[in-house]
Homo-oligomer: A and B are copies of this chain.
């Protein structure tokens, strides 16, 4: 149960509805997921977050599926149940196969393992990695 009210389309102000409409149009769907309904308690925050997300997740130097998998990697490391479910669904919709998901989780697991070993031993960064960019 959310700690704030989830604002449904029919109860939303015109300002909020405009964002909801843009979300549905952009994603070509006819419903709004709960995250946006929670943010809608602050219309400015809703608008800013949606516009930022739309810009960041658009095709660019990285393709949208790679971006979704990066989102899953962060969400898994942060243990965000909602985000894991929503971005796994989004990645599948963009073409992630089961084999890709299994490899993604293997990399995430391995990275979490070696991150902690490196930290636990306080391994100093090799000079060669500190290349002038």
**Contact surface of A with B, Cβ cutoff 8 Å:** 1-6, 31, 33-35, 38-39, 41-42, 44-45, 48-49, 52-53, 55-57, 60-62, 66-67, 69-86, 88-89, 97-126, 128-131, 133
Number of copies: 6
State whether A52 and B52 are in contact (beta carbons under 8 Å apart), knowing that A75-B111, A82-B123, A85-B3 are contacts in the complex.
yes
Rounded to whole Å, the gap between the CB of A26 and the closest CB of chain B is 16
State whether A81 and B41 are in contact (beta carbons under 8 Å apart), knowing that A70-B104, A107-B56 are contacts in the complex.
no
Q: With A and B bound together, what is the CA distance between A104 and B129 in angstroms?
A: 19
Q: With A and B bound together, what is the CA distance between A48 and B107 in angstroms?
A: 13
Identify which of B76, B116, B133 contacts A119 (C-beta below 8 A): B76
